[in-house]
Chains A and B, each alone.
Chain A
């Protein structure tokens, strides 16, 4: 019994191969895919029919859009086809059209991942633009809000807020003492004199750095 099934299985396979190898008969060829493309809603897109191309299976068969948006792709043998509407600026969703050997049509959404999933769409096809392609980055413009919410700026402003405003809000004497220390620590030394800077550069290391030693002392005390 089992061998029989296998035999039948093999024979159907062989038949299938022969069928595929034989020339397509007259009835096989000459199916058409019909549909209509809806123009993008763009007032200065007058000759959209010229830019719009109908590709079946990635350009294996090509259809052209008429003035009213209808299109026909001719001379297709029965099979499964992906119909794409190609427009440089607008995206259209592709549709899979299946034509069986009896000439029955079925149109469904293209799903490359779950190929067996069927979500039917009406046939003849009605292709509507989904979105406009966004090819370009938008140039950044200088805005005050962008500047203020920049993380670097926030990082600078927040400690300032902590140092300047918090002590006034808190009247606890102990914390005041602490904050005094912090402000001592954060006390910005004088803006360097040009000549001083040069001397520092030229005899590096020989001049002791008073600020750093002070900071060390503070640390020790803590």
Chain B
């Protein structure tokens, strides 16, 4: 035996050595295995996707193909087919987001014809039923400013392009639609009377021209060979001083236009005023063909009657009663008739389907009698800001919570007996609840939507989405269902921010969310406060300030009502506190403002002098680098971030302490350089003291983007012009092997100026990134992962370990032991790391993450043209049983084991007995 072990020993030691040397290989492969892909049967279990197209610009009903559709072209440069019955997207083509993707024309015949771009133009033909491209041709015109006013339409199978040159002439070109052959070359029609107020009603171009008091109404058929001008004195039609011409929103019948509130048609080279009054100046008017002759449809939002629609017969001027209605319950601000189709049933009744687009970007398909078939909230194609809001706890949980709340308990129940009865009461209530859920079973639970209360793991939240159109949505994160919506027509959401100023944790106070934006017209501050759970206004409600806002923040201390005050710094460097009563709480408060174009960053200290709060400019940093640089991004740490560990343990058992400066701001600037073409500079500035902690220059680089900032690490992307690739630069800040401040002491930016040790690396991203975010968890125990959205429509989840700047090119022994992956210049973007699998997300703009009650799980919402929600577990779900956990198998095995134990015991006893008898 001893012999054997001696023989084995050297071999065993060798094996150990071998294992040690391949240790880092094991670590490396275990990292690769970290890729968090989901199982195929989990599709749609934790995630959902909603597809949008944007605000509808042009729409036409497809009456030709068998599957009934609406073809729409949108402001977001999307061509899409919507299912007529459900409003779902059947197919969708996304053009460039720049002006080269602008859709100028949508025309439906046996195929879809679109004109996109603005010089050069592209004319494309699409298959009406499948949506596949059939042909395309390009057109480049001589550059001039008039092309912006050019008009396109299709007439008799020919594409007509008209460029008006105001005060001079009109250029008209006619092309063969499919091939682009120029049929009659370009003809120049002399027309000195045209101006910017002219309207086109193909093929007539109509203007009001002449000196005031002697104005003429002029119109011309721009496609006819012989130039014929219809001219009439304006006084014949209107006596109003300010005559305005407006085109119809939809016109499929006769050329015509609106002159103030009058409908004028052009028939047989003559103007013809129609005796149908336009009820409201803001009304949207459409001319539609129907079985009983052309109809005039009008819609507007009546103050008294709400959404109103009327229809008149064009020939008789009679009102068609079966089409008109008004409805107070519909909230459609500034409705616009995008497309109308009217048919007649067997009973000689009009059946109309009307697609209405509102000022809040929503599209409604309305049938007869005001029945809304479907509504598409297209404002969601342009989400500006997102906030995840916790739901309030249920009444039962609240009762238990208050019972164990020390202060409350002392107040309410002075005696032990009272506390005991209360305990019994709540136990009984819990039992009741349990019995109720048991009796109700699964069937009832599936039918009704889950109540808006917090669940056990706090995975159920409300997402408040602020959109570009000024519409605010409250959305259930588990189902994607819209719970409430609020339209603020005056809210300009450019650079708008959202703050949760009070969570739903403090009953009886409501949750409180504030949006700080600009007023659409004045540019002054506009503050909207609402209850994020119900979408009702609270507190300040909608507050219109009389100054422009420079910077805003939320006070870190809450007042007696648990409300965090809003601090506004206005253009004149005055401070406003909302509510005013919180002003004495302002203490140790600093703000910084970065000017985009001048690249000057200013820091302010806020002081309360007993009466009011004043801001004092205490520092300023000029990042312009001689005037050429401008600030592109400024990013500070997430406010609610927690830090789990203060350092990293190195293999020699010493600790490398992280530099955890909560005031650190990363500023990315970009500008031209005389030698290096373009230069990107990343500067880390302390937001309180204004000290520059580190600065990094990237020469021949452009478009710095998507900064990430958390704990002690920073990352940002830029385009390397020299190598023509996207790169991600990562930085980590360390204090070194010793702490600067003793453990437990608060960090102060004003104490000593020591520069942290900065480690950095850059990695190649072999794709075009569109958005980036870091995973966020409750206590930051879980690994941090980077979510990188690519232009291809995939969101890739990368462990921070792959981006770590401490990855050495060839790790020495110690680094191996620490588990650092050796440096590789190109980041791997495997398909298994794609969190949205094959659900491609078009034109992603931003990713938002939020912690859940489970430490392992982070909630993710990606916004762009589509909305995509999912949850990720960066370190896998270590605190939750897997969803495929086999309860059945484990209980069977357990039962079998118990059974086997006792049976073998019985048999063993019998055997012993037999042995004893022998």
Residues of A within 8 A of B (CB): 13, 17, 23, 26, 29-30, 32, 47, 49-51, 53, 55, 57-62, 64-67, 72, 74-75, 80, 82, 84, 86, 88-89, 91, 110, 112-113, 115, 133-139, 175, 178, 190-191
Q: How many whole Å from A58's CB to the nearest CB in chain B?
A: 2
Q: Which of B127-135, B238-246, B449-457, B461-469 lies at the interface?
A: B127-135
B435 contacts which chain A residues (CB < 8 A)? none
Q: How many whole Å from A63's CB to the nearest CB in chain B?
A: 9
Whether A84 contacts B792 by the Cβ 8 Å rule is yes
Q: How many whole Å from B607's CB to the nearest CB in chain A?
A: 48
Q: List 14 A-B contacts (CB under 8 A).
A: A30-B140, A59-B791, A61-B96, A62-B101, A74-B138, A75-B140, A84-B792, A86-B792, A86-B793, A88-B838, A112-B764, A135-B37, A136-B39, A191-B901
Nearest opposing residue in chain B for A67, CB measure: B132
Report Cα–Cα, A136/B835, bound state, in Å: 10
Contacts A112-B826, A133-B838, A137-B38 hold; do A49 and B122 have CB atoms under 8 A apart? Answer: no
Contacts A64-B93, A137-B39 hold; do A75 and B832 have CB atoms under 8 A apart? Answer: no
B133 contacts which chain A residues (CB < 8 A)? 49, 64-67
Q: A58-B767, A112-B764, A138-B39 are in contact. List 20 more A-B contacts (CB 8 A).
A: A13-B674, A29-B140, A55-B768, A55-B792, A60-B96, A60-B98, A61-B96, A65-B133, A66-B134, A67-B133, A75-B140, A88-B840, A115-B723, A115-B724, A135-B38, A135-B837, A136-B38, A139-B40, A175-B1, A178-B1
Report Cα–Cα, A30/B143, bound state, in Å: 14
B40 contacts which chain A residues (CB < 8 A)? 136, 139
Nearest opposing residue in chain B for A66, CB measure: B133
Does B48 lie at the interface of the complex (its beta carbon under 8 Å from any beta carbon of A)?
Answer: no
Whether B131 contacts A50 by the Cβ 8 Å rule is yes
Closest 8 CB pairs of A and B: A58-B768, A58-B791, A88-B838, A135-B837, A136-B40, A133-B831, A64-B133, A59-B791
Report Cα–Cα, A134/B834, bound state, in Å: 10
Nearest opposing residue in chain A for B122, CB measure: A74
Contacts A58-B768, A139-B884 hold; do A134 and B124 have CB atoms under 8 A apart? Answer: no
A29 contacts which chain B residues (CB < 8 A)? 120, 140
| Total interface residues in chain B, CB < 8 Å | 61
Report Cα–Cα, A17/B672, bound state, in Å: 10
Report Cα–Cα, A110/B724, bound state, in Å: 11
B96 contacts which chain A residues (CB < 8 A)? 59-62
Contact of A75 among B120, B839, B901 (CB under 8 A): B120
Whether A62 contacts B838 by the Cβ 8 Å rule is no
Nearest opposing residue in chain B for A193, CB measure: B905
Report Cα–Cα, A32/B766, bound state, in Å: 24
Q: How many whole Å from A80's CB to the nearest CB in chain B?
A: 6
Whether A112 contacts B725 by the Cβ 8 Å rule is yes
Does B256 lie at the interface of the complex (its beta carbon under 8 Å from any beta carbon of A)?
Answer: no
Report Cα–Cα, A75/B118, bound state, in Å: 11
Report Cα–Cα, A88/B49, bound state, in Å: 15
Report Cα–Cα, A146/B749, bound state, in Å: 58
Contacts A30-B120, A134-B832 hold; do A88 and B724 have CB atoms under 8 A apart? Answer: no
A59 contacts which chain B residues (CB < 8 A)? 96-97, 768, 791, 843
A74 contacts which chain B residues (CB < 8 A)? 120, 122, 136, 138
Q: How many whole Å from A90's CB to the nearest CB in chain B?
A: 10
Does B117 lie at the interface of the complex (its beta carbon under 8 Å from any beta carbon of A)?
Answer: yes
B39 contacts which chain A residues (CB < 8 A)? 136-139
Contacts A58-B768, A191-B905 hold; do A139 and B38 have CB atoms under 8 A apart? Answer: no
- Most B CB atoms within 10 A — which of A49, A51, A75, A115? A75
B766 contacts which chain A residues (CB < 8 A)? 110, 112
Does B94 lie at the interface of the complex (its beta carbon under 8 Å from any beta carbon of A)?
Answer: yes
B120 contacts which chain A residues (CB < 8 A)? 29-30, 74-75
Whether A62 contacts B140 by the Cβ 8 Å rule is no
- Most A CB atoms within 10 A — which of B132, B843, B884, B905? B132
Report Cα–Cα, A26/B120, bound state, in Å: 10
Give the tally of cross-chain contacts (CB within 8 A).
Answer: 130
Report Cα–Cα, A58/B767, bound state, in Å: 7
Does B293 lie at the interface of the complex (its beta carbon under 8 Å from any beta carbon of A)?
Answer: no
B834 contacts which chain A residues (CB < 8 A)? 133, 135
Whether A135 contacts B832 by the Cβ 8 Å rule is yes
Taking CB atoms and an 8 Å cut-off, the chain B residues in 95-109 that contact chain A are 95-98, 100-101
Nearest opposing residue in chain A for B906, CB measure: A191
Q: How many whole Å from A151's CB to the nearest CB in chain B?
A: 15
Q: How many whole Å from A76's CB to the nearest CB in chain B?
A: 10
Report Cα–Cα, A66/B97, bound state, in Å: 21
B675 contacts which chain A residues (CB < 8 A)? 13
Does B41 lie at the interface of the complex (its beta carbon under 8 Å from any beta carbon of A)?
Answer: yes
Report Cα–Cα, A62/B838, bound state, in Å: 20
- Most B CB atoms within 10 A — which of A80, A110, A134? A134
Taking CB atoms and an 8 Å cut-off, the chain B residues in 1-53 that contact chain A are 1, 37-41
Does B740 lie at the interface of the complex (its beta carbon under 8 Å from any beta carbon of A)?
Answer: no
Report Cα–Cα, A49/B764, bound state, in Å: 31
Nearest opposing residue in chain B for A96, CB measure: B724
Does B91 lie at the interface of the complex (its beta carbon under 8 Å from any beta carbon of A)?
Answer: yes
A51 contacts which chain B residues (CB < 8 A)? 840
Does B904 lie at the interface of the complex (its beta carbon under 8 Å from any beta carbon of A)?
Answer: yes
A190 contacts which chain B residues (CB < 8 A)? 905, 908
B768 contacts which chain A residues (CB < 8 A)? 55, 57-59
Report Cα–Cα, A50/B93, bound state, in Å: 8
Q: How many whole Å from B834's CB to the nearest CB in chain A?
A: 6
Q: How many whole Å from B145's CB to the nearest CB in chain A?
A: 13
Q: How many whole Å from B761's CB to the nearest CB in chain A?
A: 15
Q: How many whole Å from A126's CB to the nearest CB in chain B?
A: 19
Report Cα–Cα, A135/B768, bound state, in Å: 20
Report Cα–Cα, A49/B133, bound state, in Å: 8
Report B811-839 CB contacts with A as 1/0, cut-off 8 Å.
00000000000000110000110100111
A191 contacts which chain B residues (CB < 8 A)? 901-902, 904-905, 908
Report Cα–Cα, A84/B39, bound state, in Å: 28
Nearest opposing residue in chain B for A16, CB measure: B677
B117 contacts which chain A residues (CB < 8 A)? 75
Nearest opposing residue in chain A for B95, CB measure: A62
A13 contacts which chain B residues (CB < 8 A)? 674-675
Contacts A64-B124, A86-B840 hold; do A75 and B138 have CB atoms under 8 A apart? Answer: yes
B674 contacts which chain A residues (CB < 8 A)? 13, 17
Contact of B91 among A50, A67, A135 (CB under 8 A): A50
